[in-house]
């Protein structure tokens, strides 16, 4: 007789076996000097040890970020299990973030993300402008699974927290210079000023320039593509008004002015001979349309913390972010005027949050109120078929969101802790739309719509300590991604028909352990997400190239995540993260027919892996020599929710725009702890994509409605260079 065990029970058995093993081997020992670093996080809005937080979370320290070359959101790709991050096609400052198979893959400004991005607790509302060079980071936290109670709207899949360093009040700082191939130059300055009265201040500046790795032929409007040119700055100011009251101010600014990415045509049935189809990565191009990417984003945040007593603190944060974001793409990647598009966007968001964080005996609690408003506008002129089809496409939108939330934790026994939470959110959204085809007005400028949405997102967690080193938790939580309107619709009815919020019910079980006297950690999470009213962007390639938005139906994602870290000696650290994901539709309604068995789940790679080796090779009076090898792998993934098997000739086939499995290796050789006088010096040799993996990172697939025109956007080739840093 053959014994068959269903996948969910396999995961349960795996966790049970790990629990039994760790319970037998774990011993209560003090963490030695050569043990793993104890990381503290604020994932639950209060400071806790990462190993004590009963959620699936990954934290990366400032030192690790520097060692691994993490400068922005894109560099986090696959660093945590079941995390996939890519640039939107053609742009390097807009992102597509997928956690556990949930993603928003439309870069339109009116779209809401499934993963919330936070900088010092302030929500950043859009995928456009999300790829910023953040300065003075203390750590990054990746929270997997819905965070709908403490974080709220648009954290359906999870949240990414960027936490910056507070001013020290002592004179000090660092200067960093990176030089690399493609004439790459990065300069970075971080400075802490001496405390003056009640004030502490720090500032940071960063500038990056790099030639494009795609050069263009004579006659093209730009000389290169895929270059970099950006500058960023940050100011942090703290005021210790009294022992009970602290005030903070944060300002950040990022400016980008560079050319776009090469839209390399890898398929075309249009029969135009000047459109060159080539599936091998190209480093030369001939284009005729404008190609640029310009971004200017500025953020302000004012905060206050007032200690009511030793156990209770009131926190208030006001924040505002303003974004100007423009781009232009030659979508056919050729010297003919076949498909050109431009976007000119402005966006402003303002938020207010009031929190009470406290503890009373066996109780810990976070209570809060949150308000958020935003407003955005996009002008999207498009030209097709040698200027014979020209579109003036514009849209605008507003959001007003208010929520109340609470999270309460109770230590029932010395081993058992229970947590409950609830958030109530109410939103108002509006849209306005204008579309003209040449002189013919398709959608008049008077087209305006409004809608209301609401959601209650609960949380229940039970965590149990088997010993001082091993704990288990079980969690149920819900999340939602806000509903809205299709700002790029091609008719009035589609414009004024709102789509509903997408919701998730999530079940998660986990194990966290610290072994071998603090030299090793093993964390495991198993999960199942039930997604309803799934929002899907269905690209039509009709009229002004746009997408229809549908609440297509239901999906289930389930999987397992394992995070391992081991430091056998003071000179060697090993780390491995692995995620397995099974994602499928239960229902996908297209034209009134359920085609769930013939639609691809986009941005849902089945396997993700990250391996890290950090070894100290030599210690001497001159300095410490270290080597770091960082490898990330993602299995193949679809980019669009297209058909798996060709049954409808009007719908694209998903495999045409499937990104193949790829692994990327980054290496770094570092000499640190060098001193000359009072200066501390570091020097490093580094290489990214050391194997020069020539893989596609993303696609645009127009499908049969536009001659199966398909463009590929390749990952950056091998880059290498030297890094010099002085600290004082």
Calculate mean pLDDT across residues 268-289.
92
CA distances from 216 to 17, 32, 328 (A): 58, 57, 16
pLDDT in the model for residue 90: 87
**Bridge-based pairing state of the strands 440-465 and 470-481:** antiparallel
Q: Which residue has the higher pLDDT, 1 or 222?
A: 222
The CB density around residue 722, as the number of other CB atoms within 10 Å, is 12
| Confidence band, pLDDT 50/70/90 cuts, at residue 68 | confident
Calculate mean pLDDT across residues 191-215.
97
Calculate mean pLDDT across residues 684-707.
94
Three-state DSSP state, 520? strand
pLDDT in the model for residue 698: 95
Determine the Cα–Cα distance for residues 353 and 366; give it in Å rounded to an integer. 12
pLDDT tens-digit readout, 640-667: 999 999 999 988 999 999 999 999 999 9
pLDDT value at 470 more than 90: yes
Calculate mean pLDDT across residues 333-352.
94
pLDDT value at 27 more than 50: no
pLDDT in the model for residue 79: 86
Which residues are registered as beta bridge partners of 475? 461, 508
| Confidence band, pLDDT 50/70/90 cuts, at residue 9 | very low
> 7-727 maps to which CATH number?
2.40.170.20
Length of the chain: 728
pLDDT value at 433 more than 90: yes
pLDDT value at 573 more than 80: yes
CA distances from 695 to 88, 98, 589, 692 (A): 15, 19, 33, 9
Q: How far apart are the first and last CA of the chain?
A: 71
Three-state DSSP state, 496? helix
Calculate mean pLDDT across residues 342-369.
97
Q: In what order do the strands lie in the sheet with 264-267?
A: 264-267, 710-714, 696-701
Q: Which residue has the higher pLDDT, 48 or 216?
A: 216
| Confidence band, pLDDT 50/70/90 cuts, at residue 541 | low
CB 264 within 8 A of CB 282: yes
Determine the Cα–Cα distance for residues 491 and 249; give it in Å rounded to an integer. 45
Determine the Cα–Cα distance for residues 252 and 236; give it in Å rounded to an integer. 9
Which residues are registered as beta bridge partners of 204? 190, 234
- The domain ranges of the chain are 7-727
pLDDT value at 16 more than 50: no
pLDDT in the model for residue 67: 84
pLDDT value at 62 more than 90: no
CB 249 within 8 A of CB 237: yes
Calculate mean pLDDT across residues 130-136.
84
Tracing tokens 């980054």 back to the chain, one arrives at 666
pLDDT in the model for residue 76: 84
243 burial via Cβ count (<10 Å: 0-12, 13-18, 19+): exposed
Tracing tokens 């190609």 back to the chain, one arrives at 291
pLDDT in the model for residue 227: 97
The mean pLDDT value of the chain amounts to: 91
339 burial via Cβ count (<10 Å: 0-12, 13-18, 19+): buried
Tracing tokens 């229970």 back to the chain, one arrives at 418
pLDDT in the model for residue 291: 93
pLDDT value at 673 more than 60: yes
Calculate mean pLDDT across residues 467-471.
94
Give one DSSP letter per residue of 249-282, joined into a string. EEEEEEEEEE-----EEEE--S--TTS----SPP
pLDDT value at 690 more than 60: yes
pLDDT value at 5 more than 90: no
pLDDT in the model for residue 112: 92
CB 574 within 8 A of CB 612: yes
Token pair belonging to 636: 């193949």
Strands (E), 486-546: 502-515, 520-539
Calculate mean pLDDT across residues 360-385.
96
What pTM does this model have? 0.91
pLDDT value at 17 more than 50: no
CA distances from 306 to 208, 242, 246, 315 (A): 39, 9, 7, 7
Q: Which residue has the higher pLDDT, 537 or 493?
A: 493
pLDDT in the model for residue 65: 87
Percent of the chain residues topping a pLDDT of 90? 77
H helical segments located in 28-163:
62-68
Which residues are registered as beta bridge partners of 506? 477, 529
Look at residues 124, 127, 154 and name the one whose alpha carbon lies nearest to residue 480. Answer: 154
pLDDT value at 48 more than 50: yes
Token pair belonging to 265: 């045509």
pLDDT in the model for residue 4: 36
pLDDT in the model for residue 454: 96
| Confidence band, pLDDT 50/70/90 cuts, at residue 539 | low
| Confidence band, pLDDT 50/70/90 cuts, at residue 273 | confident
| Confidence band, pLDDT 50/70/90 cuts, at residue 107 | confident
Look at residues 559, 567, 586, 564 and name the one whose alpha carbon lies nearest to residue 575. Answer: 564
């Amino acid at each position: 007789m053959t014994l068959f065990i269903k996948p969910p029970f396999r995961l349960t058995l795996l966790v049970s076996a790990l629990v039994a093993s760790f319970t037998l081997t774990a011993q209560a020992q003090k963490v030695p000097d050569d043990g793993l670093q104890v990381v503290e996080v604020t994932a639950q809005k209060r400071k806790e040890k990462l190993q004590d937080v009963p959620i699936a979370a990954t934290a990366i320290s400032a030192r690790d970020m520097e060692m691994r070359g993490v400068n922005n959101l894109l560099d986090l790709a696959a660093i945590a299990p079941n995390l996939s991050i890519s640039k939107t096609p053609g742009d390097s400052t807009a992102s597509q973030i997928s956690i556990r198979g949930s993603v928003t893959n439309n870069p339109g400004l009116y779209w809401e993300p499934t993963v919330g991005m936070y900088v010092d607790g302030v929500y950043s509302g859009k995928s456009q402008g999300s790829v910023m060079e953040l300065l003075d980071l203390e750590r990054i936290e990746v929270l997997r699974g819905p965070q709908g109670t403490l974080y709220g709207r648009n954290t359906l899949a999870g949240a990414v927290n960027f936490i910056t360093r507070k001013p020290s009040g002592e004179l000090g700082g660092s200067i960093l210079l990176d030089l690399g191939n493609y004439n790459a130059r990065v300069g970075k300055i971080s400075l802490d000023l001496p405390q003056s009265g009640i004030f502490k201040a720090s500032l940071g500046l960063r500038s990056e320039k790099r030639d494009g790795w795609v050069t263009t032929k004579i006659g093209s409007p730009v000389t290169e593509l895929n270059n970099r040119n950006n500058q960023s700055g940050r100011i942090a100011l703290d005021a210790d008004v009294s022992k009970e009251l602290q005030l903070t101010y944060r300002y950040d600014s990022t400016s980008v002015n560079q050319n776009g990415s090469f839209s390399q045509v890898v398929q075309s049935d249009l029969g135009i001979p000047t459109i060159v189809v080539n599936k091998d990565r190209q480093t030369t191009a001939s284009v005729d349309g404008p190609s640029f990417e310009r971004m200017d984003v500025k953020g302000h945040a004012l905060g206050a913390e007032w200690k009511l007593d030793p156990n209770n603190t009131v926190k208030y944060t006001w924040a505002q972010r303003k974004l100007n974001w423009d781009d232009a793409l030659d979508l056919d990647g050729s010297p003919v005027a076949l498909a050109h598009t431009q976007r000119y966007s402005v966006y402003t968001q303002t938020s207010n949050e009031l929190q009470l964080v406290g503890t009373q005996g066996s109780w810990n609690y976070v209570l809060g109120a949150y308000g958020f408003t935003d407003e955005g506008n996009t002008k999207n002129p498009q030209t097709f078929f040698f200027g014979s089809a020209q579109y003036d496409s514009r849209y605008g939108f507003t959001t007003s969101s208010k929520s109340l939330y609470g999270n309460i934790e109770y230590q029932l026994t010395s081993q058992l802790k229970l947590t409950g939470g609830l958030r109530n959110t109410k939103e108002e959204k509006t849209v306005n739309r204008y579309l003209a085809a040449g002189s013919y007005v398709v959608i008049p400028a008077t087209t305006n719509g409004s809608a209301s949405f609401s959601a209650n997102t609960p949380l229940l967690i039970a965590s149990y300590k088997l010993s001082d080193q091993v704990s288990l938790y079980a969690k149920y939580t819900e999340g939602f991604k806000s509903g809205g309107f299709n700002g790029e619709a091609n008719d009035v009815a589609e414009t004024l028909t709102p789509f509903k919020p997408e919701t998730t019910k999530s079940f998660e079980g986990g194990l966290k352990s610290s072994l071998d006297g603090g030299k090793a950690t093993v964390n495991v999470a198993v999960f199942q997400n039930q997604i309803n009213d799934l929002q899907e962007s269905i690209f039509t390639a009709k009229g002004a190239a746009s997408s229809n938005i549908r609440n297509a139906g239901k999906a289930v994602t389930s999987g397992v995540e394992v995070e391992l870290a081991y430091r056998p000696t003071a000179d060697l650290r090993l780390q491995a993260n692995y995620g397995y994901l099974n994602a499928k539709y239960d229902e996908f309604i297209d034209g009134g027919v359920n085609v769930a068995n013939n639609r691809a789940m986009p941005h849902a790679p089945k396997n993700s892996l990250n391996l890290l080796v950090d070894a100290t090779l030599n210690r001497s009076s001159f300095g410490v020599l270290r080597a770091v090898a960082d490898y990330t792998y993602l299995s193949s993934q679809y980019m669009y929710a297209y058909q798996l098997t060709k049954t409808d000739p009007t719908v694209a086939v998903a495999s045409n725009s499937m990104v193949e499995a790829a692994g990327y290796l980054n290496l770094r050789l570092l000499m640190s702890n060098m001193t000359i006088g009072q200066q501390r010096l570091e020097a490093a040799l580094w290489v990214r994509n050391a194997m020069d993996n020539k893989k596609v990172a993303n696609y645009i697939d127009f499908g049969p409605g536009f001659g199966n025109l398909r463009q590929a956007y390749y990952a950056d080739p091998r880059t290498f260079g030297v890094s010099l840093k002085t600290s004082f």
